[in-house]
A = this chain, B = another copy of it.
Amino acid sequence: MLKGIPALINADLLYILRSMGHGDVLALVDRNFPAQSVAFDTASGTLVHLDGANIPQAAAAILTLYPLDSFVETPVFRMQVVGEPETLLDVHEDFHAACEAAEGAKVRMGSIERHSFYDRARQAFAVVQTTEDRPYGCFLLTKGVVFEPT
C-alpha cells in the first residue's frame, strides 16, 4: 500500500499508468472483452487484471491519478450496443459520471462500433480488464497532461 493511492491500483497498473504519456490511450474493459488477445497487440503488450472491481470502481480509482486529455474534444469513448449505436446503458452512464466527477468538469464521451472498438483498442497502450458483468462496459481513455509542478 502507498499513501494516497487507491488500494485497487496494483503495482502492474501503476507501472502502466506512469509509463504512459500525453495522447496515449488506455482500454478499460468488462469481463467479456477479448482482453488478452487485444492486449498482445497494444504498445506495451500488457493486460492488467483488476479482478473483483467493476467499471465504476476501476474508473474512479484510475482517474484519481490519470488525467484525461483536454487537448481533444472527445477524451473518452464507449463501445456501442450492437445495432443500437445511440443507446446509453447504465454502465456507460456510470463511467461517464466517474469521468466528470474526477475532472470536475464536463467530459465529452464518444462512441465506437464494436469491431472498430476492437481495432482502436489494439492501438492502445495497454488493456485493463475488470470483472464488470454488464455488457458493453468497455471504454478508451486518452491520457492528458499534468500541468501543476510536482
Q: Which residues of A pack against B, CB within 8 Å?
A: 1-7, 9-12, 14-19, 21, 64-67, 145-146, 149-150
Determine if B4 and A150 form an interchain contact, defined as CB atoms under 8 angstroms apart. yes
Pick from B11, B21, B66: contact of A18, CB below 8 A.
B11
Residue of B at shortest CB range from A17?
B2
On whether the beta carbons of B10 and A146 are closer than 8 Å, the reply is no
Whether B11 and A65, one on each chain, are in contact in the complex, defined by CB atoms closer than 8 angstroms, is: no
What residues on B are CB-neighbors of A21 within 8 Å? 1
> Out of B3, B19, B149, which one reaches A146, CB within 8 Å?
B3
Q: Which residue of B lies closest to A64 (CB)?
A: B3
Closest chain B CB from A116 CB (angstroms)? 29
Task: Name the CB-closest residue of B to A1.
Answer: B146
Residues of B within 8 A of A9 (CB): 18
Contacts of A6 in B (CB 8 A): 150
Q: A14 is contacted by which of B4, B18, B67 (Cβ under 8 Å)?
A: B18
Chain B residues within an 8 Å CB radius of A11: 14-16, 18-19
Give 13 pairs: A residue, B residue, CB < 8 Å, sorted on A.
A1-B21, A1-B67, A1-B145, A1-B146, A1-B150, A2-B18, A2-B65, A2-B66, A3-B64, A11-B14, A11-B19, A14-B18, A15-B15
